[in-house]
Amino acid sequence: MKSVAILLLIVFASGIPAFAEERSIVVWLDPQQIPPKLTIYSDEKTESKRGVSLSDAAMILRGAQGWGSAVSVFILSETPVETKDYVVLLEGMKENEWLILTAIEVSQGGKFSERAARLLKYFKIPPSDEELN
Residue 117 has pLDDT above 80, yes or no: yes
Cβ–Cβ contacts within 10 Å for residue 43, how many? 15
* Per-chain mean pLDDT for the chain: 81
Residue 25 has pLDDT above 60, yes or no: yes
Candidate from 4-8, 64-68, 87-91 with smallest mean pLDDT:
4-8
The pLDDT of residue 33? 80
Exposed (0-12), middle (13-18) or buried (19+): which is 18, by Cβ within 10 Å? exposed
Residues 6+ apart with CB under 8 A from 58: 88, 89, 91, 92, 93
pLDDT band at 98 (very low <50, low <70, confident <90, very high): very high
The pLDDT of residue 126? 63
**Mean pLDDT, residues 107-133:** 75
**28 phi and psi angles, rounded to 5 deg:** -100, 115
Separation CA 31–CA 34 (nearest Å): 7
Alpha helices in 94-128 (DSSP H): 114-122
The ranges assigned to domains in the chain are 20-132
- Residue 108: helix, strand or coil by DSSP? strand
pLDDT band at 84 (very low <50, low <70, confident <90, very high): very high
Percent of the residues in the chain that have a pLDDT greater than 70, as a whole number: 77
CA distances to 3, 75, 104, 117 from 110, rounded to whole Å, are 52, 15, 15, 10
